[in-house]
Amino acid sequence: MITAETLRIAASTPDLLAKQAIEGLLRDAATEIDRLTSCLKKANEQAERFERHWYLAKEDAERYAFAKTLEGQVVTIDTLKNLGAGALDDALDEANSDNA
């Protein structure tokens, strides 16, 4: 492992090969930092997407669980029959929040 002291000594040496080696190490380090930053950004995006889908699925599961109850069946059938699917979503959300 190259330490900071090794880099300091090599930088103070007028040897061209040592300076080139240090420059190569610095380029490699910068490349690795960029790669890791990219990986972290991708991981964060995936985690956020998973979290959004998780909460949406949980919301849907709660709404469907309510729709299976007797009260939920009455709300579901009447609303769907009279007002359509868009109104059904609103009615389930409202009825579900009333039960919470």
pLDDT of residue 38: 95
CA distance 36 to 96: 44
CA distance 26 to 33: 10
pTM, full prediction: 0.46
The per-residue pLDDT string of the chain (100 residues; one tens digit each, 9 = 90 and over) reads: 566 776 676 666 656 667 777 888 888 999 999 999 999 999 999 999 999 888 888 877 777 777 777 677 777 777 767 777 677 777 777 776 765 5
Tally of CB atoms within 10 A around 96: 18
Domain ranges of the chain: 1-51
